[in-house]
Amino acid sequence: MNICKVLFFATLKDRVGARQITLELPYGLTVGGLKAILLARIPALEPALPHAFIAINREYATEDEIIPPKAEIAIFPPVSGG
């Protein structure tokens, strides 16, 4: 299995109740697949996760990007402002 560190920021950290977690992910999993796993394990993420920004190893990732082995995944909530 692919062991990755997942970091949560701002309101997502509050929803999870932790700044980071470690997950065992299948090899070849996409960002979209990661979101599905997180929603199944942490339902409190549901309101924000579909619109969250994901970075893998400090670079923004698209839904179809494959998560590499031992990745550091950062998840940021959508930002609004004026």
All structural domains of the chain, each given as residue ranges with its CATH number in brackets, are: 2-76 (3.10.20.30)
pLDDT band at 3 (very low <50, low <70, confident <90, very high): very high
16: its two tokens? 């999870």
**65-79 as b/e: b if 16+ CB within 10 A:** eebeeebebbbbbee
Where do the DSSP E strands lie in the chain?
A: 2-8, 20-25, 53-56, 59-60, 72-76
pTM of structure: 0.91
What mean pLDDT, rounded, does the chain reach? 94
> How much is the pLDDT for 79?
77
| Tokens read off for 17 | 């109740």
Q: Which residue has the tokens 């579909």?
A: 50
Q: Work out the pLDDT band at 78, boundaries 50, 70, 90.
A: confident
> Among all chains, which residue has been given the structure tokens 């070849």?
28
Average pLDDT over residues 42-68: 96
Arithmetic mean of pLDDT, 20-45 = 96
